[in-house]
A and B are shown apart, each in its own frame.
Chain A
């Protein structure tokens, strides 16, 4: 009771005070306790007489909660606030309530983490139970009568809330979680308007978890979500709950950074402002931000993201739920690369002068120069390379443009010199990311999913935890965050498995749902075809590909790869770049620039002043993924689309528009001038790309490939991704990513 309250009590009409039966009550703290609050049975008995209403309005499950009955016989019926729901056996009371359309307040419960049951916010009343029960930890039993809006439940929540707020600082005005804080929201909905705690609040020393996660540990409510996330999902056992009682705190005990590629997710799961984003700290309030639902392009997973922007600036990136791809997590690279979008941007067309310096020119001049040069060289000396971040539209336009110029030397970075683009099953993740969860044995060949595709790795880890799946790994020494057998480092081991000489072969052959994942890094190897046919032999012997199960996968590296192969970006000859006179680099920053002859004319079209601009003769500024609408296909063949969140920088244009304009200046006008038209063109080449938000599996084909005659070399597989945090032009421009690579990558 504060003084203000006292005063307001005194201001009330005197009659109320006089009417009060026991004036003494006023002297003491008002703890309301009515008999029915103390004895839930009696209140239940009182509530009972009115018969359960027959037609209750149908309710919609919370957040589209779906019920999946693994076994129809196991369905049980429970009543939530009198409303009957059918749920499978083994669901908790909280889940039953969700199915029934009642949202139960919670802090520690998270559907993707183990149940801790330590916040007590989810208390509900269950008939015949003497005390309110923690619904998140209580299995629903047949015929259970759950009540979520009775005085007992309400009082329980209010009490829990009061305890939680006891030690919680009143710093919402300076807290970055403000506006999206579970504690704030739930205290508005379920809390009391005052507390009775008059002692000192506790304070806790902040921890240093690295450059991404900011901690204000005094705000922590000890829900242990972060600890469970780190242990279960991220697989780094660094965080723990230390101390006891009111001295309890989250920490690492010894000074230690959180070295996980998924650490940013603790920001989302922390229900309060204890763990917030360090780069985003004090930058914006979440209600000022405009959210644009988009797709991540930093790896081939295509995580679903929301780009939060304010005006022309991307303020942060947060995950969107997509059960098939990223569930509700994203990698740190996805989440924190956004500051790279503001640095090193190319914003004007430029031509390199005779003195070697770039001069800003108008679009018209730049296009005219390029068109002229393009016509001066022989068609077979024209080469086009699409970069890692290219969308399907621009790759289509580039291919069409080059084809009209008479050249077919176009490929996408990372697919190697003679990619096999004939069979989609040869370069896709055929099992699908979500399908990996069924697997019981994994064989990773030359791939380190942890750095190549962190979200796929999280799935594998989930499967390993859930099914005790075995993982065999062939490649250089690496740190996967789950138990695995390191079988060997190169093709030698692969051959042994193919010849059934290796002990892992029997593991694979005995598995119900074996999965082989081949890294796209192998595309670059000379003996790629032999390796792939060896893998196919293994797959055939171990029955990895069956009519009901396709466990043979390729894990791609870049966002553009799958679409590029679908569109047939396959070079005509493997060493065309060495004799090229005109090289068109569309955002390609990882091509070997030394291979380009010194007298070649290089056009760089892209959004960042990264590696390739040093060699470019002309620069066309293009839009980054956050500024354009573009189709990307992820490694499992799931076509998705980005949406523009912020305006383009300077004079930059969409990639496909630049190429379309160039084609006109060059006198070979491409027949499309709207997004719809270019997508119609894509439909004729790869119809699956325009079926957005759908996974188009590869049509099942037995291997039709001719046996390869190449000799297998015994050079061991190499690391494909040296630094998880810096893989493309955006992440290389990002300061946060630079800090991460300095602090977090293991030397």
Chain B
């Protein structure tokens, strides 16, 4: 590290670099302004170096990068391999016909997503590779074209999921608001790895991309298959904290239902904490609407 004794003695907190990066640089800025007249170039150097060190540590602290979808390749297992026979049930065959009828006959392949969804519902909330092959056959494309779609959307589960599939949002707003801790807590609490099902078959944890609730970040989605896979729901629980997700898990474990929505009692939906602060009255119309005035 490039530094001199004086600087590290004067600003020990910088060198220790335990503060988060954002506050560190704000602090640096104010310090810098105060110090401008003294020997600032060497001071600055020290700070730069310290900041860099912090960055490097940050790199080593972070967990290995993880991606929202599960493995992008298939591993044969007794309940998931291409040799298993899979077919749409008779009731679903009707639905397949109906879905395909919505597309021009030369664009059958457009039906891939609804069909995969149907297959997933039929198969208890997840898609074995044989189901994807079946879909490929129905829409007359090479199986790989179906795998491409199924791996793209994190809503298609390509491994077994629990009755409650907990999906933690991992996109930037939620991540900044602490979704990583939430995921870690969930995994620790349930004692599973990502995309692994708990022994009792109740829970599994996955990751999703932004689900449009960033205003209430961080959030998790619970894919609820407790009413059978046909009656499944996606329930959003927003404004969660590590404690709260554990509570949610416990509530679900007890078989109780929890109304979806924000978990912050002081917020109404996506409104600000403690009630609205703006737009309290009827907003004035824009002046150009007042045709008489023109």
A-to-B contact residues, CB < 8 Å: 1, 3, 6-7, 10, 14, 17, 23-24, 26-28, 198-200, 202, 205, 207, 237-249, 251-255
Contacts and interface: CB of A to CB of B under 8 A. Distances in A.
Contacts of A17: 41
A7 B153 CA distance: 46
Given A14-B41, A253-B144, A243 B69 contact: yes
Of A14, A244, A248, most B-chain CB atoms within 10 Å: A244
Contact of B74 (A3, A24, A253): A253
Contacts of B202: none
A251 B71 CA distance: 12
Given A6-B2, A253-B143, 10 more contacts: A3-B52, A10-B45, A23-B40, A240-B145, A244-B152, A246-B65, A252-B73, A253-B72, A253-B129, A253-B151
A237 B142 contact: yes
A244 B69 contact: yes
A245 B67 contact: yes
Contact of A241 (B58, B143, B148): B148
A27 B25 contact: yes
A247 B69 contact: yes
Given A1-B52, A243-B151, A237 B74 contact: no
Interface in B122-144: 129, 141-144
Contacts of A252: 73, 144
Contact of A26 (B48, B55, B69, B144): B48
B294 interface: no
Nearest to B147: A253
A242 B147 contact: yes
Contacts of B47: 27
12 contacts: A7-B2, A24-B29, A27-B25, A200-B59, A200-B62, A202-B65, A205-B73, A237-B144, A242-B151, A244-B154, A247-B68, A254-B73
B2 A199 contact: no
Interface in B1-28: 2, 25, 28
Of B62, B76, B151, most A-chain CB atoms within 10 Å: B151
A1 B56 CA distance: 11
B7 to A, nearest CB: 13
Closest 5 CB pairs of A and B: A247-B67, A237-B142, A253-B147, A240-B144, A243-B72
Contact of A198 (B59, B82, B153): B59
Given A7-B2, A254-B129, A247 B32 contact: no
Contacts of B154: 244
Nearest to A248: B72
A429 B72 CA distance: 46
Interface of B: 2, 25, 28-29, 32, 36, 40-41, 44-45, 47-49, 51-52, 55-56, 58-59, 62, 64-65, 67-69, 72-74, 76, 82, 129, 141-145, 147-148, 151-154, 209
A251 B25 CA distance: 43
Contacts of A237: 141-142, 144-145
Contact of B64 (A200, A241, A249, A254): A200
Contact of B44 (A26, A199, A238): A26
Contacts of A6: 2, 45, 48-49, 52
A246 B25 CA distance: 29
Contacts of B36: 23
B143 to A, nearest CB: 8
Nearest to A250: B72
A707 B289 CA distance: 93
Nearest to B81: A254
Nearest to B41: A17
A240 B150 CA distance: 12
A302 B58 CA distance: 59
B144 A27 contact: no
B40 to A, nearest CB: 8
Contacts of A251: 72-73
Contacts of A14: 41
Nearest to B25: A27
A199 B59 contact: yes
A251 B141 CA distance: 17
Contacts of A247: 67-69, 72
A245 B52 contact: no
B41 A239 contact: no
Contacts of A1: 52
Given A7-B2, A10-B2, A198 B68 contact: no
A242 B67 contact: no
A246 B67 contact: yes
A453 B2 CA distance: 67
Nearest to A253: B147
A163 to B, nearest CB: 16
A17 B36 CA distance: 13
B65 A27 contact: no
B48 A27 contact: yes
A227 B264 CA distance: 48
Contacts of B72: 242-243, 247-249, 251, 253
B82 A24 contact: no
Of A238, A247, A252, most B-chain CB atoms within 10 Å: A247
Contact of A24 (B32, B49, B151, B209): B32
A710 to B, nearest CB: 45
Contact of A199 (B65, B67, B76, B153): B65
